[in-house]
Amino acid sequence: MSTFNDWARGIDLSKIIEWLMFAAAALVSISVHESSHALSAYWLGDDTAKRSGRISLNPLRHLDPLGFLMMVVVHFGWAKPVPVNPARMTKMKSQKTGMALTALAGPLSNLLLALVFGLIYYIALYAGGMKLWMMMDGVRDPSGWQYWLTVFLERFLILNVGLAVFNLIPISPLDGSKILAIILPEASYSKLMRYERYGMLVLLALLWLGWLDAPLGFLMKIVLQGIQAVAMPLAKLIAGG
């Protein structure tokens, strides 16, 4: 019994709470991201995803168990692919443009979530009279509901910015590879798509080698600063100074 008590006392409860908060934020963010793809395709005339039940905020309709576990543990994961049929996007003259807009809907939804929760984050800080911070690198007192509220909002904000920036990388199967279609000439894009099957291997190699860390960190910093520039003045106004 004493061994169990020693083990229990060694558990860092605050770390477990933060892990659970990240998992909750990931569930919401992934569900919004994937349902945005489905809804965008439906608006363009393709009801394939709608008939598959993917226009839903129910996480169970979107999550891949292994992909979600990877996201929570190593912060790199995936969800179930949203089924779309560009040939049914009758509201678009170009199937390529329809696919690009459908792909873009996911990252845009995460940026919108980041802006909304960034505003709530700063309102909570101003209203609580607490010291501002953006990243989890300061010494804080984990006591009171205000602390945990701001931790959750901060996790949510950073996670959604990360999802948006990461998914815009123009490597298959990420959304950026489909958005690239409206930039490149048809012939160049077709040649690039011949190597689509190797995209995940290339992506994993880049992540493993750490070659994406610096550019992703730089882009995330820019986006976070943009959200801060918009959200902070609004939050101060709403919170009464």
CB contact burial 141-155 (16+ within 10 A = b; e otherwise): eeeeeeeebbbbbbb
Measured distance CA(41)–CA(50) in Å, rounded: 9
Exactly one of 18, 34, 186, 196 is catalytic; name it: 34
Measured distance CA(175)–CA(137) in Å, rounded: 31
Q: Are 54 and 42 in contact (CB under 8 A)?
A: no
Nearest to 41 by CA among 86, 108, 93: 86
Which distant-in-sequence residues (6+ apart) come within 8 Å of 190 by Cβ?
Answer: none
Measured distance CA(53)–CA(83) in Å, rounded: 10
Which distant-in-sequence residues (6+ apart) come within 8 Å of 86 by Cβ?
Answer: 46, 95, 96, 98, 99
Q: Which two tokens stand for residue 222?
A: 């820019």
34 is catalytic: yes
Q: DSSP secondary-structure letter at 63?
A: B
What amino acid positions are annotated as catalytic residues? 34
